[in-house]
């Protein structure tokens, strides 16, 4: 199997028969993260701001397991039990991201597990290999600009 389960001791464990995340090639699919304290396994007390912050901290912990950051998230889906709290959620959400922001959908649902106010799932792309290639360029022929050279040069970035 080419997929790898992702979990972290710094993020809550799955509360059912699913993985917190699955990595397949460069793609990482993070299951919906709840505002659970990773130690107690309980939903954090507080309003939507505190719950949003906890969800995003849990996402950061999962990403860290793969040496990834929030900037690697390309799409989120935010599930909220009350869209009247959208602006308050959005303020906290914005503080965890920089431009270009990930694409996002936000939907109101009737209820979330454990009585949570919010759940966020993510699609992540692991671009670390490509970033290293762009920084080092074609080492075999020394172009150093992320460009492949001409001739019969071949190195780890696939230059020919």
* pLDDT tens for each residue of 79-133: 999 999 999 999 999 999 999 999 999 999 999 999 999 999 999 999 999 998 8
Among candidate residues 125, 124, 2, 106, the one with its CA nearest the CA of residue 52: 106
Q: Is 112 helix (H, G, I), strand (E, B) or coil?
A: coil
Give the residue numbers spanning the domain of 89: 3-126
Inside any domain, residue 91: yes
Inside any domain, residue 53: yes
Inside any domain, residue 74: yes
Inside any domain, residue 140: no
CATH number at residue 11: 3.30.1330.40
Distance CA 69, CA 77 (A): 17
Domain count within the chain: 1
pTM, rounded to two decimals: 0.83
Over the stretch 43-89, which tens digit does the pLDDT of each residue have?
999 999 999 999 999 999 999 999 999 999 999 999 999 999 999 99
Q: What is the pLDDT of residue 15?
A: 87
**Sign of the Cα pseudo-torsion (34, 36, 42, 45, in order):** negative
Q: What is the pLDDT of residue 60?
A: 98
Inside any domain, residue 120: yes
């Amino acid at each position: 199997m080419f997929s790898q389960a992702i979990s972290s001791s710094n993020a809550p464990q799955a509360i059912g028969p699913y993985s917190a995340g699955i990595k397949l090639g460069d793609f990482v699919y993070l299951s919906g993260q709840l505002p659970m304290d990773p130690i107690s396994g309980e939903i954090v007390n507080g309003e939507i701001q505190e719950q949003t912050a906890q969800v995003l901290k849990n996402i950061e912990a999962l990403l860290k397991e793969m040496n990834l950051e929030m900037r690697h998230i390309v799409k989120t889906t935010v599930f909220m039990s009350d869209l009247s709290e959208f602006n308050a959620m959005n303020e906290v959400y914005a503080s965890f991201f920089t431009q270009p922001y990930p694409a996002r959908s936000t939907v109101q649902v009737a209820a979330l597990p454990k009585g949570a106010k919010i759940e966020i799932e993510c699609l992540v792309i692991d671009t670390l290999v490509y970033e290293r290639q762009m920084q080092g360029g074609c080492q075999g022929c020394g172009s150093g600009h992320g460009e492949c050279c001409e001739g019969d040069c071949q190195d780890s970035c696939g230059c020919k």
